[in-house]
Chain A
Amino acid sequence: MACTESECVADCVRRAETLAFADPPPHSIGYMPIYVPRELIHAAGLLPAGLYGGGDRLEIIRGDAYFQSYICRIPRSTIELALSGHLDRLDGMLFPSICDVIRNLSGMWQMLFPDRYVRYIDVPQNFDPAVGGRFWRHELETLRRDMERIAGRPIDDEALRNSIAVYNENRAAIRELYAQRSRAPWRFPLSEAYLVLRAGNSVPPEEHTALIRDYIRGAENDLSRREMDQSRVVLAGMFCEQPPHGLLVTLERAGCAVVDDDLFLGMRWIQGDIPLDGDPLQNLVDAYLTASATTASRYSPEGHRAKWLLESYRRNEAEGVIFCAPSFCDPALLEQPMLVAALDRAGIPHTEFKYSEDTGQFAVIREQAGTFSDSIRLWSAS
């Protein structure tokens, strides 16, 4: 008997959940948030495995002994994962320059695991092709050589072009998911979409793209999904340490339909397709310089920090913004006053709270988000 659409979706989400919290398979290169050029890893026949902490499913036994209480959770659960053998199958670890915590974590890795491959990925904060572009190209050439060495095979331009195409597809599928969610958030609730996205950290991109498309198709056709009386909100601040899944469910139950967010930003860092013709490495460089997402850890040479948020608010016809950042997350929390000021100037409703990946109690958040959502609906009704 063929399954109903809602069963198909449930199946897809179950599969996504299993994959989302899976250990990285063999021949993977782990990477921390936020952005690494996954195309280069993929082109070497390796799997880029996004590591997003241990969430609320991992008991921290040793990790706490490495970090003071005022440091966010993700480094301690990542260390815990490594010390308890969960990351043993990785062929290497990449630490992109997102903040001082991840930066120093790269050095801790060098000291704790002296025999393993570790690289700090220093993305440029200067976007002039002749300056930051040159620097970034050099970094990518080094990474390419390193991946070739680990994989034991050269990465030729054709392989790289192919990987770029694969990730273009993946990004297109993710864009499609976001667009659909924005159009009909009741059909694509964030608590599901989150799992579908997160699964992409532990499976090959081709498989992930197929999973996203399956999910979109299933949910689109699931007639049991009905429009709900929810407030349309944008979530900001979750680009690194992850909110527990229960928090996302709580937001939805509190009446918030999330129409945009900055979760797993690295997966859709490059906005749009990367060209396939010409020198593929240079195309990766140029894409970084000209088509990167905006976020707290990337310098904004011009204009206002909140530009992306205001644009997202308008494009997605949102009614409010929720800042939802990890406790002790310097980039997100230092950014927040600038974003809040911009929203205030524009008369956009907003609320703020913090979480950590192992937050277990959501009563206060439910209360706050519920009040926020109700007040938005009242405003828009009046």
Chain B
Amino acid sequence: MKENSMLLQKQLLADHFDALARARDEGKKVVYTFVPGNLNELVRSFDLLPVLPEINALQSGMRKLSGGYITEAEKSGHSEDVCTYVKCDIGMLRKGNIGPTGKPLPKPDLLLLSYTGCFTFMKWFELLREEYDCPVAMLHVPYQSEGRIEPHQREYIVQQLRSEIIPKLEQVSGREFDIEKLRSMLRLSSKAEDDLVWVLESAKNTPSPIDAFFAGVYYLGPIFSAFRGTEDAVQYYRTLRGEIEERIANKEGPITPDGPMKGERYRLVVEGPPNWTSFRDFWKMFYEEDAVVVASTYTKVGGLYDQGFRHDPDHPLETLADYALGCYTNLSLPARVDLLARYIRDYRADGFLVNSVKSCNSFSVGQLLMLRQLEERTGVPGAFIESDLVDPRYFSAANIKNRIESYLQMLDQKRGAA
């Protein structure tokens, strides 16, 4: 069963990849950049087309191509120890850079290295710089180590936007920076963000009308990627919200790949990214057991909108800075624990699960301590599983299923004892 919002999103993506395939012929310029804290509105305000290698990697994972790409990269000397997103991208490049719709992706005219929440990003684009003869614009985003954004951090980013990023975007696009255009895009971002937050918070209902992790990653697609700041994104989120309003009115649960969920026995919070190579099997392990994810942190890697952040057209550069600083993986570990504890409480979760992915030190280092601290603080028991983002070698379905089932049984026993 396809809802209108799903069809809309599919169309958005198809149109975008078509535009990318035509970019060279139409003389359009292309910017590669990353998801967390990205400058989509700014890029789009220069009529440049964004490509997000992380999204390509995750889509390669879902289409079962990533294993081959990773092997290709490892054969050419990339270590088995490092982030598989990078290797998936490099492997895809070596195999012709064919995008998710089967059409080749254009080469970048600029690598926009916005460096939020992960050191690997820097090496990733340095590796791509070796492949493409194009300029790099680096935006260094400091870390929120003290659990808050400091004014000098914001100022540092704004200065980089002025002295490094905007001039390079002007150069590549051949256009002048148009602050009014940026403002109007930020206005659209903020509208879409309002509806997105409404959607995420709908999981506070019982039953929750959404799965805030497995379906959540689809809901986040447009806002995290190439569409924030566009009318299309506003329309997408308005449509999505309408559908969920209906589900709430009908007291319906989330929609899964096998149709609507019948019951809701467990409400869970999830920390960490999903696995993309076995995404549906992974999800099934939850919905088969009537477990629904009511809040997740992965859906905050592109912004903590639910904690109040909105793009602010009145302060266009400052708001881009705050956005870049505020993404989930740029938060200190204590701030991450605070956020998760809030989710467990506010969404009335029965439990929480950490999916620790091998690729991503930014997420994974410290998760075992986070687990302990969360259990202590909330009294809610947690579960810990390990997998990877796009490396099929690290998804052991039987082990993970076992782990989830016994964890849910434990929650049952706890409930019975209470």
A: residues with CB less than 8 A from B are 65-68, 70-71, 75, 97-101, 103-108, 110-112, 119-120, 122, 124-126, 128, 130-132, 134-135, 138, 296-297, 299-301, 305, 327-331, 333-338, 340-341, 354
Residues of A within 8 A of B369 (CB): 66, 108, 111-112
Residues of B within 8 A of A305 (CB): 126
Minimum distance in angstroms from A137 CB to a CB of chain B: 9
Instruction: Enumerate 14 A-B pairs (CB-CB under 8 Å) in ascending A order.
Output: A66-B368, A100-B118, A100-B119, A100-B120, A103-B365, A106-B145, A110-B334, A132-B156, A134-B155, A135-B142, A329-B81, A331-B123, A333-B79, A335-B126
Q: How far is the CA of A338 from the CA of B146 in the complex (A)?
A: 34
Q: How far is the CA of A367 from the CA of B122 in the complex (A)?
A: 35
In the complex, whether B143 has a CB less than 8 A from a CB of chain A is yes
Residues of B within 8 A of A327 (CB): 81
Q: How far is the CA of A340 from the CA of B77 in the complex (A)?
A: 8
Out of B123, B152, B156, name the residue touching A335 (CB < 8 Å).
B123
- Contact status A330-B123, CB under 8 Å: yes
Residues of B within 8 A of A103 (CB): 119, 143, 145, 362, 365
Q: How far is the CA of A337 from the CA of B361 in the complex (A)?
A: 20
Residues of A within 8 A of B365 (CB): 67, 71, 75, 100-101, 103-105, 108
Minimum distance in angstroms from B131 CB to a CB of chain A: 10
- Contact status B368-A100, CB under 8 Å: no
- Contact status A125-B83, CB under 8 Å: no
Minimum distance in angstroms from B320 CB to a CB of chain A: 15
In the complex, whether B416 has a CB less than 8 A from a CB of chain A is no
Residues of A within 8 A of B115 (CB): 125
> Which of B145, B152, B364, B367 has the most chain A CB atoms closer than 10 A to its own CB?
B145
Residues of A within 8 A of B358 (CB): 68, 70
Residues of A within 8 A of B152 (CB): 134-135, 138
- Contact status A337-B78, CB under 8 Å: yes
Q: Which residues B126-147 have CB closer than 8 A to chain A? A: 126-127, 130, 136, 138, 140, 142-143, 145-146
Residues of B within 8 A of A330 (CB): 81-83, 119-120, 123, 361
- Contact status B368-A131, CB under 8 Å: no
- Contact status B119-A331, CB under 8 Å: yes
Which of B9-17, B159-167, B200-208, B209-217 lies on the face that meets chain A?
B159-167
Q: How far is the CA of A107 from the CA of B332 in the complex (A)?
A: 6
Task: Give me the 4 closest cross-chain CB pairs, A-B, nearest first.
Answer: A107-B333, A120-B145, A334-B123, A125-B140
- Contact status A70-B145, CB under 8 Å: no
Q: How far is the CA of A120 from the CA of B332 in the complex (A)?
A: 10
- Contact status A297-B119, CB under 8 Å: yes
- Contact status B123-A296, CB under 8 Å: yes
Q: How far is the CA of A299 from the CA of B361 in the complex (A)?
A: 19
Q: How far is the CA of A334 from the CA of B160 in the complex (A)?
A: 26
- Contact status B361-A71, CB under 8 Å: yes
In the complex, whether B337 has a CB less than 8 A from a CB of chain A is yes
- Contact status B361-A111, CB under 8 Å: no
> Which of B82, B332, B373 has the most chain A CB atoms closer than 10 A to its own CB?
B82
- Contact status A299-B140, CB under 8 Å: yes
Q: How far is the CA of A103 from the CA of B336 in the complex (A)?
A: 14
Residues of B within 8 A of A138 (CB): 152
> Which of B122, B123, B333, B358 has the most chain A CB atoms closer than 10 A to its own CB?
B123
In the complex, whether B356 has a CB less than 8 A from a CB of chain A is yes
Q: How far is the CA of A67 from the CA of B337 in the complex (A)?
A: 17
Q: How far is the CA of A329 from the CA of B83 in the complex (A)?
A: 11
Also in contact, A68 and B164, with CB within 8 A (given A112-B369, A330-B82)? no
- Contact status A101-B163, CB under 8 Å: no
- Contact status A338-B130, CB under 8 Å: yes
Minimum distance in angstroms from B150 CB to a CB of chain A: 8
In the complex, whether B406 has a CB less than 8 A from a CB of chain A is no
- Contact status B368-A111, CB under 8 Å: no
- Contact status B333-A110, CB under 8 Å: yes
In the complex, whether B76 has a CB less than 8 A from a CB of chain A is yes
- Contact status B79-A336, CB under 8 Å: yes
Shortest Cβ distance from B332 into A: residue: A107
- Contact status A67-B333, CB under 8 Å: no
> Which of A71, A110, A330 has the most chain B CB atoms closer than 10 A to its own CB?
A330
What 0/1 pattern do residues 316 to 340 of B give for CB contact below 8 A with A? 0000000000000000111011000
Q: How far is the CA of A126 from the CA of B145 in the complex (A)?
A: 19
- Contact status B138-A99, CB under 8 Å: no
Minimum distance in angstroms from B55 CB to a CB of chain A: 20
Q: How far is the CA of A68 from the CA of B357 in the complex (A)?
A: 10
- Contact status B332-A110, CB under 8 Å: yes
Also in contact, A70 and B333, with CB within 8 A (given A100-B365, A132-B140)? no
Residues of B within 8 A of A120 (CB): 143, 145-146
Residues of A within 8 A of B332 (CB): 106-107, 110
Residues of B within 8 A of A328 (CB): 81
Q: How far is the CA of A328 from the CA of B82 in the complex (A)?
A: 7
Q: How far is the CA of A134 from the CA of B153 in the complex (A)?
A: 10
- Contact status A104-B123, CB under 8 Å: no
Shortest Cβ distance from A336 into B: residue: B79
Q: Which residues B75-97 have CB closer than 8 A to chain A? A: 76-79, 81-83, 86
- Contact status A338-B126, CB under 8 Å: yes
In the complex, whether B375 has a CB less than 8 A from a CB of chain A is no
Out of A68, A135, A297, A301, name the residue touching B386 (CB < 8 Å).
A68
8 additional contacts (CB under 8 A) given A122-B145, A126-B138: A67-B368, A100-B365, A101-B361, A103-B365, A106-B145, A120-B143, A134-B155, A135-B156
Shortest Cβ distance from B83 into A: residue: A330
Residues of A within 8 A of B124 (CB): 334
Minimum distance in angstroms from B92 CB to a CB of chain A: 16
Out of A104, A105, A299, A329, name the residue touching B362 (CB < 8 Å).
A104
Residues of A within 8 A of B130 (CB): 338, 341
In the complex, whether B308 has a CB less than 8 A from a CB of chain A is no
Shortest Cβ distance from B126 into A: residue: A305
- Contact status B126-A126, CB under 8 Å: no
> Which of A107, A120, A131 has the most chain B CB atoms closer than 10 A to its own CB?
A107
Residues of A within 8 A of B143 (CB): 97, 103, 120, 122
Out of B86, B119, B140, B368, name the residue touching A99 (CB < 8 Å).
B119
In the complex, whether B259 has a CB less than 8 A from a CB of chain A is no
Also in contact, A99 and B142, with CB within 8 A (given A126-B160, A300-B126, A327-B81)? no
Also in contact, A301 and B368, with CB within 8 A (given A71-B361, A338-B126)? no
In the complex, whether B174 has a CB less than 8 A from a CB of chain A is no
Minimum distance in angstroms from A304 CB to a CB of chain B: 8
